[in-house]
A and B are shown apart, each in its own frame.
Chain A
């Protein structure tokens, strides 16, 4: 969790245009978003920082997969909630994801589903917080486009946004 109490979310996708829009949408929701284009970049990020959730494209550069990133991140935080975003997935991939408690979302992803899944992942991981009202108030409060990691700290902690314990 970031210092300002926002949930920290890592988004990985090799398509930069997609990556940017994901980041913007998540930031709009008041998350502290880190966006990476490659698996190596992402693995480096998870080794350095702690994240509350991982949203990862399945197919990454050069045959790398989102599993690698998630596995790397869970070395530090075994319970880390994660979701695979994919255009297609074989049954084996889905099975593997389920086995590892990884959510799977198929592109094109309905944004409502995307956001609901993300918030549910975070909430489930913080059930002890008993933030029953958070879901109702998790509507985007700020539409300011701070963009990027730098803005993470700048985002105010809204009373209705994702709240850190």
Chain B
């Protein structure tokens, strides 16, 4: 707060002296319109009283410096002695000043003559306007006037109007024997001048205060205008008293009046007024959301309005200040943020559930699972894999784990840089629980990053021992079946063999009798002959079973096919049958080779018989692996271009004693074929079209053991 300063203009003092007229001192002092004019006038009046020299010393409250402000007839060189500071307590002037009472110094180091020293301070008999208006006694001028307490310069600020007081010291050279009356007259003059000075000072103070306030108001106005948010000052009737440019956009009727704009502004004013009313009802300092229409853009905008009442000095409300914050984007962003957050949380929940589920699966899958990074380092294992390989990122804990890790690493490294996305391979690992090396089947897949690089490989290990045991059992049971079949065959063959020789004799005997049968007995003879031949054929068929004494062992079906074709090649050639074999690469199958040979030869002979005028016979073999890579089938197709099987017979073709060859067939061939295939755990099917040929399909199981 700016405070009036006592300003002196020594050069103008002389000018005033020129037309100084001798008028009463009080009147002359009244001529001073500015505070700085008082001291020169006062000094002149002191000289006029008959004192030889006078000096006014000013005290600067800011710096504490004491220096002569005006002098009359005072020797110039002597002035320096009156330069001092408030805190130099040994200085005689300062000592007098602190007493705040006039004093006469007969002898001093300040002047070579006796001097009268009269301190003056801002004082007034009456309260100043401000103190008067608010009815307080705390007016510095009055307090100083009454001198109720010792004047402390640092306290010389008015509690009411914040005016900084002034202080000064008048120094007058007096005669050694100066009279009391003269001193009294001098003191009275000085006090009179001080009263005038105080009054002028106060006026200047108020003027300065006004100027300060104007500046402050201008600054506040600038601040208000420069705010991007609308700021509005309303009176108690909610009429707009003041608003900044941002607010004008919404509440001031624009120069170019269009109906739309006017309506928008009117609406805004209405909305704002309503909001203010409700806010003021609800509390002293409140805020609420307010939707306004941008009069220029025509857009709806959302504001948060904060209102605060403003009070006059007397404590009575004079209006309301409302600051509005454009929260359109903020709310939108907030809404979006909220939505995104919700979405994120949902997604997170889904991911979490997925992960939990996956973990659950991994933990309960029952097979060891290993995840490796692209350097084939283990990064994740399930409890089972943990037993085999140890914990991820850890050195193996024992020799078995080290060995297993080495095995795995070799495999995974190879797989990672292979071109296949999936792979399965056998892997021998040491199982610490079983304390032995076990063959696992490892199945691996790759996980790629966005650049298509392998980041992880996931491998599932399957302990094949259990599976193999089951398959082994199956094979053993099948072998037993085959063995049983062979035993049955042997029995049948033994019987057939026993029957065979008498049969041979009977047949020969019938032949020998051919010429000596009477005409009448000829039909009987023919029955005897044909039925005997039929028995002979059955016996021959049964004898075939006798050969099936061979052990079940791993054999290649292709070799059996080639053998059979070679064995029957002459017959087929004679029947004008063209044979075409198309043999794929086959794994060995556990079979009784002799039985399979019989199957093939039965089927080939059937085909031959179905093509009395010749034709084509195609034998094809293929390996059909199961997706598990462990099991699979060997498929044999035997196709001919023969007469085909009538549809009504297709169903029963594998039943015993069913034949398409009439008298020539025994009806046992396909039944035996079926029995053998079934005993081998295989499948047999037929497709046929009368006149279009027949295809037999045989599937023999193969197991990788």
Contacts and interface: CB of A to CB of B under 8 A. Distances in A.
A109 B533 CA distance: 10
Nearest to B545: A88
Interface in A1-60: 15, 17-18, 20-22, 24-25, 28
Given A87-B497, A108-B536, A21 B504 contact: yes
A87 B501 contact: yes
Contact of A21 (B505, B543, B547, B594): B505
A138 B638 CA distance: 41
A108 B500 CA distance: 7
Contact of A87 (B500, B505, B507, B509): B500
B504 A18 contact: yes
Contact of A25 (B508, B515, B537): B508
A141 interface: no
Nearest to B539: A108
B419 interface: no
Contacts of B509: 21
A25 B543 contact: no
Contacts of A28: 512
Interface string A85-118: 0011011000000000000001111010000000
Interface residues of A, number: 19
Interface in B494-525: 496-497, 500-505, 507-509, 511-512, 515-516
B540 interface: yes
Contact of A88 (B502, B516, B543): B543
A88 B508 contact: no
A100 to B, nearest CB: 18
Interface in A44-90: 87-88, 90
Nearest to A87: B500
Given A111-B507, A111-B511, A143-B515, A17 B547 contact: no
Interface in B518-563: 536-537, 539-540, 543, 546-547
Interface residues of B, number: 24
Contacts, number: 59
Nearest to B497: A87
A99 to B, nearest CB: 15
A108 B515 contact: no
A119 to B, nearest CB: 16
Contacts of B537: 108
Contacts of B539: 108
Nearest to A22: B508
B474 to A, nearest CB: 29
Nearest to B563: A91
B504 A108 contact: yes
Interface in A109-141: 109, 111
A90 to B, nearest CB: 6
A20 B554 CA distance: 46
A32 to B, nearest CB: 18
Nearest to A19: B505
Contacts of B546: 88
Contacts of A143: 515-516
A75 to B, nearest CB: 29
21 contacts: A15-B504, A17-B501, A18-B504, A21-B504, A21-B505, A24-B508, A25-B511, A28-B512, A87-B496, A87-B501, A88-B493, A90-B547, A91-B594, A106-B543, A107-B500, A107-B501, A107-B504, A108-B500, A108-B503, A108-B507, A111-B511
A-B complex: 5 closest residue pairs judged by Cβ atoms? A21-B508, A108-B536, A17-B505, A15-B501, A87-B500
